Chains A and B, each alone.
Chain A
Amino acid sequence: MTATAIPSPSPTNPGDGAGAPRPRTRRNVELGLLLFVAAILLVYAAVVEGNAIGEVTPDFWVQVAILAVIFGAAHVAIRFVAPYADPVILPAVALINGIGIGFLRRLDIGRAKAPLRADLSVFGGDGFRQLGWTAAAIVGAVILMLIVRDHRSLSRYAYTLGLAGIVLVLIPAVLPARFSSINGAKLWIKFPGFSIQPGEFAKICLLVFFAYYLVRKREVLSRASKRILGIDFPRGRDLGPVVLVWLLSLMVLIFEKDLGTSLMYFGMFVVTLYIATVRVSWLILGLGFFIGGAFLAYFLGKTVGGPFLNFSERATTWLDPFADADNKGYQLVQSLLGLGTGGLTGTGPGAGQPLNVPEVRTDFIFSGLGEEIGLFGLTALLVIYLLLVERGLRAAINVRDSFGKLFAGGLAFTLGLQVFVIVGGISQLIPLTGQTTPFLSAGGSSLVANWLLIGLLLRISDASRRPAGGAPSIGLGGASSGGGGGAPVQIQELPTEVVR
Chain B
Amino acid sequence: MALTGVEIFKLLPKTNCKKCGFPTCLAFAMKLAQRQASIDLCPDVSEDAKQKLGEASAPPVRPITFGAGDKAVKMGEETVLFRHDKRFVNPCAFALEIKDTLSEADISSRIEEVLNSEIERVGQRLRIDAVALINDSHDVGRFEAAAKIVAKKACDVPVIICAGNPGAAEAAVKLFVDKKPIIYGANSENAEAMANIAKTYKATLGVTASSAFGGSGGGLDELSTLTEKIKSLGIEDIVIDSGARKAKEIIEDNTLIRRAAIKKNFKPLGYPVITFAQRGDSLIEALIGAIGVAKYSSIIVLSNIEKWKNLALFTLRQNLYTDPQVPMQVEQKIYKIGEPMPDSPLLITTNFSLTYFIVSGEIENSKIPSYLAVMDCEGLSVLTAWAAGKFTAAKIAQFIKESGVENTIKHRELIIPGYVAILSGAIQDKLEGWKITVGPREANGIPAFLRSRAA
Chains A and B form a bound pair:
no
Measured CB to CB, the residues of B under 8 A from A are none
Measured CB to CB, the residues of A under 8 A from B are none
